[in-house]
Structure 1
Amino acid sequence: MSIEKRNLWIMWVCNFIIAGSMTMVMPFLSLYIETFGEFSDEYVQRWSGFIFGITFVTAFLMSPIWGRIGDKYGFKPILLINGFGISASIFLMGFMHHVHGLFLLRLVMGIVTGFIPTSIALIAKQTPKKIAGETLGILQMGTVSGTLFGPLLGGVMADSFGFQYTFIITASSIVLATLVVLFGIVEKSNNESKKQKNRPSRKKVIQIILQHRMLVSVMGIAFIVQAGLFSIQPLLSLYVSELTSADNVAFLSGLAFSATGFGNLLLTKRWGKLGDDIGYDKVMMILLILAATLIVPQAFVTDLWQLVILRFLFGMSIGGMLPCITAYIRMEAPFELQGEVLGYNQSFRFLGNVFGPMLGGIVSGYVGISSVFYVTGGLFLLGFWMLWWSVKQTRKVKKPSPRRGQ
């Protein structure tokens, strides 16, 4: 087995563990805050939102920095720093007795929440351009699988062992994954990047991105996709409760949420391979139209089974976005700057994670939960128009001018 293939499968397993471990604590975060004292429901809900969101805010700021360091010194050291940093943050969360301390630890965790983005940069940089979409699709399957099973396993462990031991077990599993990276990953040194003395400044890298219309559009789509995914997520349990009179609303909400992940898992690799064959921009436009078409009908469902089926189909359409976006950046960005450019792309995704729940909360507060699906569908159509316009303008610029006299 080649080094590149071995690295891919090692990172698949590690991303599964990391993604699963980081989502284990999400089902009981608000319940954990309640153990700190006698608080009102409003206080717990407000701090749950703050503590959940602060991780993405700091991660948004740090992603390009980790990418720049990775381009210069290699991605393996960044994986180790982030892996051990995440595990230490989660371990200490198990010993917190105050919301401010938990908030601070989640803030620190955001600083080192670069393991999965860095793994994407590592695999993207070692992968030939012609198979980048398929390869990155395989890698994403590990992340999606971990995200699916993490909350379920976290809930079971919290009920069985208690909150504190769940944090300790979660931290230990992340340490294990990081040790696998330490002893298993072989990163080919990029001597050209290390020898490069006149490396562009961060300001110059931003100018390079802004001058490339398609790169800006692709990063904008990364933001839209994440905002669309997260816009309904905090409201899903409330929406499910409107559709059913069953007592186990939490389980049914998890089923509706997981349906998107299973659909995502099913076609991620195939969408990536199709991008390799016909072009990543074409596949992204197809997926944006499908996503808009499949999310709007979710506002009209009258039974839970209808919502689950639509969420599953929606997951199938959205699954190819990340590998196609990453593969496109791999194709277009200068080789020595790919980690940093992918870092900026990841920042857009983290920003979408913050913007999406805010948008969903504001829209649902004024005109109801169903309206969130309309707004999200509109976002996907906006992304399609933005990408279509960028492709059209790019082709117009590249088209040679006719010679005089012809």
Structure 2
Amino acid sequence: MPHAEPEGWQRNVWALSLIVFTAFVGFQFFSPFLPLYVQELGVTDPARVAIWSGVLLAVTPSVAAVLAPVWGILADRVGRKLMMIRSLVGFAVIIAAMGLVTSVTQLFVARLLQGVFAGFSVMAMALASVSCPRDKVPVAIGRVQSAQLLSVAVGPAVGGYVASHFGIRFAFFVTAGLCALSLVGLLLLFKEVRPGQPGGATSRPARLPFRDLVRVRYFPLVLGLLIIAQFIDRGLALLIPLKVAHLPGLPRIAVISGVIISVSAVCGTIAATLAGRLAQRWPIGRLLLIGCLAGGLPCALMAWTDSWVTLLVLRSLVGLALGGALTLAYSLGGQLSPSESRGAAFGWLALSVQLGGALSPLATGGLAALSLPGAFLADGALAWLAALLLLLVARDLITRHP
């Protein structure tokens, strides 16, 4: 397919990274504080607060997972940029409405509708992958993924300040404003190059049914790796505050949890950027194998730590080892799928990510209620399971590029 001029693809990918970073900083303004908002809406029983928080965190990715393939197929027909515009417009309106709700049921409906308009980050990945030369796909996806990860280091701290000084409702309005700002950036800064005629003229994309896509060698493996990587990442986000709360003699649980989450997000950003660059020279399968093997150990060791400093070090090591896993898996999926059907392929990749994101809070929360150390051990075991799958199913990906 044609691509923008050499400098053009760099400009497009940097523009996408800025757009994704702005929007995801906004998402982090309110996501960590949903349990507090549930209480503000009148739910006082701690058990019900926990249940509602889990449901609210799970409903958006659940709906998004169901609809992701639909939006992906539509993106190949009408354009991926248009699908991102759809998401950002919907987010701006719906998230602003979340700041106006008066009951937790209304908040649930708003979160459900947010899932209907989701798919923003995955379309950004798809756009990045088709906006650059094929050998630069890991670099492009790494940049966009790094922008998303870096938002976790910035958003909660700034969002916490806004929520504490102006109220949690105001945080929703700020997020809606940042989504609108991302929309303006998308319209002004990004120039989409579509498959078809030279210069980006449009042609009808080849149809690629899911049954044909799963016959692409290693594509089902990529789907499984994405589920595991997202499950671990979302699970640790839930487990870290719980672990800090169980450590003796810590007066500022929220502050310490925020520091650990922010530092690990920076480590993940570094890992995602480095993974994208290394994937140009090393086989992606080998990088994934090394990351999963190295990341499983600190995951498991967090089960027994009794110091927040040790927890910070271990969580940072997990970020460095597994922070590039999503980038590498997305890159592998992008390289395996035809460029003219990249939107449909990324729709199914998104389903895997959203499925992992939906299952993780529920499964991890339930497991942590039974055994907090067991939840950390389970995440470590999942990382090693991913490594085992690579060794058993795709050994040649460890030694060569797809």
The TM-score bracket by the shorter chain reads over 0.9
Instruction: Kindly state the Cα deviation for residue 95 of structure 1 after the two structures are TM-superposed.
Output: 0.8
Q: Show the counterpart of 1:361.
A: 365
Instruction: Kindly state the Cα deviation for residue 38 of structure 1 after the two structures are TM-superposed.
Output: 5.8
Instruction: Kindly state the Cα deviation for residue 42 of structure 1 after the two structures are TM-superposed.
Output: 2.1
Q: Show the counterpart of 1:174.
A: 179
Amino acid at match of 2:46: D
From 361, 377, 390, the equivalent of 1:374 is 377
Rounded Cα–Cα distance in structure 1 between residues aligned with 2:47 and 2:209: 43
Q: Show the counterpart of 1:289.
A: 293
Amino acid at match of 2:259: L
Q: 1:365 to 1:44 in 2, by over 3 A?
A: closer
- The answer as to whether partners of 2:63 and 2:112 remain within 8 angstroms in 1 is yes
Q: Show the counterpart of 1:341.
A: 345
Instruction: Kindly state the Cα deviation for residue 212 of structure 1 after the two structures are TM-superposed.
Output: 2.6
Q: 1:328 to 1:232 in 2, by over 3 A?
A: closer
Amino acid at match of 1:348: S
Instruction: Kindly state the Cα deviation for residue 390 of structure 1 after the two structures are TM-superposed.
Output: 1.9
Amino acid at match of 2:252: N
Residues 1:195 and 2:200 are matched in the alignment:
no
- The answer as to whether partners of 2:58 and 2:361 remain within 8 angstroms in 1 is no
From 2, 7, 11, the equivalent of 1:6 is 11
Residues 1:321 and 2:329 are matched in the alignment:
no
Q: Show the counterpart of 2:49.
A: 44
| More off after superposition, 131-140 vs 343-352 | 131-140
- Percent identity over the alignment? 23
Q: How does 1:111-260 map to 2 (within 5 A)?
A: 111-191=116-196, 194-196=202-204, 199-200=206-207, 205-260=209-264
Amino acid at match of 1:189: R
* Aligned alpha-carbon RMSD (Å): 1.9
Secondary structure in 2 matching 1:278? coil
Rounded Cα–Cα distance in structure 2 between residues aligned with 1:350 and 1:41: 27
Q: How does 1:43-122 map to 2 (within 5 A)?
A: 43-122=48-127
Instruction: Kindly state the Cα deviation for residue 183 of structure 1 after the two structures are TM-superposed.
Output: 1.8
Rounded Cα–Cα distance in structure 2 between residues aligned with 1:378 and 1:273: 28
Q: 1:242 to 1:35 in 2, by over 3 A?
A: closer
Amino acid at match of 2:174: I
Instruction: Kindly state the Cα deviation for residue 365 of structure 1 after the two structures are TM-superposed.
Output: 2.8
Amino acid at match of 1:5: Q
Rounded Cα–Cα distance in structure 1 between residues aligned with 2:351 and 2:48: 29
Structure 1: give runs of 5+ residues left out of the alignment: 396-406
Rounded Cα–Cα distance in structure 1 between residues aligned with 2:15 and 2:156: 22
Instruction: Kindly state the Cα deviation for residue 394 of structure 1 after the two structures are TM-superposed.
Output: 8.2
Q: 1:277 to 1:352 in 2, by over 3 A?
A: same
- The answer as to whether partners of 2:23 and 2:175 remain within 8 angstroms in 1 is no
Instruction: Kindly state the Cα deviation for residue 209 of structure 1 after the two structures are TM-superposed.
Output: 2.5
Q: 1:228 to 1:250 in 2, by over 3 A?
A: same
Q: Show the counterpart of 1:266.
A: 270
Greater helix proportion: 1
Q: 1:34 to 1:210 in 2, by over 3 A?
A: same
- The answer as to whether partners of 1:124 and 1:326 remain within 8 angstroms in 2 is no
- The answer as to whether partners of 2:230 and 2:326 remain within 8 angstroms in 1 is no
- The answer as to whether partners of 1:299 and 1:371 remain within 8 angstroms in 2 is yes
Rounded Cα–Cα distance in structure 2 between residues aligned with 1:168 and 1:5: 32
CA deviation vs aligned residue, 1:84-114 (integer Å, no higher than 9, x gap): 1111111011110011111011011111121
Instruction: Kindly state the Cα deviation for residue 291 of structure 1 after the two structures are TM-superposed.
Output: 1.1
Instruction: Kindly state the Cα deviation for residue 317 of structure 1 after the two structures are TM-superposed.
Output: 0.7
Rounded Cα–Cα distance in structure 2 between residues aligned with 1:363 and 1:165: 34
Secondary structure in 2 matching 1:232? helix
Q: 1:276 to 1:34 in 2, by over 3 A?
A: same
Q: 1:382 to 1:213 in 2, by over 3 A?
A: farther
- The answer as to whether partners of 1:137 and 1:268 remain within 8 angstroms in 2 is yes
Aligned residues: 390
From 372, 382, 385, the equivalent of 2:388 is 385
CA deviation vs aligned residue, 1:256-303 (integer Å, no higher than 9, x gap): 222321211123221221112121111111111111122111112121
Instruction: Kindly state the Cα deviation for residue 363 of structure 1 after the two structures are TM-superposed.
Output: 2.4
Rounded Cα–Cα distance in structure 1 between residues aligned with 2:43 and 2:319: 39
Secondary structure in 2 matching 1:277? coil
CA deviation vs aligned residue, 1:158-184 (integer Å, no higher than 9, x gap): 111122322212211110110111122
Rounded Cα–Cα distance in structure 1 between residues aligned with 2:216 and 2:393: 10
Rounded Cα–Cα distance in structure 2 between residues aligned with 1:42 and 1:289: 36
Structure number with larger C-alpha Rg: 1
- The answer as to whether partners of 2:65 and 2:354 remain within 8 angstroms in 1 is yes
- The answer as to whether partners of 1:58 and 1:107 remain within 8 angstroms in 2 is yes
Rounded Cα–Cα distance in structure 1 between residues aligned with 2:193 and 2:288: 31
CA deviation vs aligned residue, 1:115-160 (integer Å, no higher than 9, x gap): 1111110010122121221222122121111122111111110111
Residues 1:331 and 2:335 are matched in the alignment:
yes
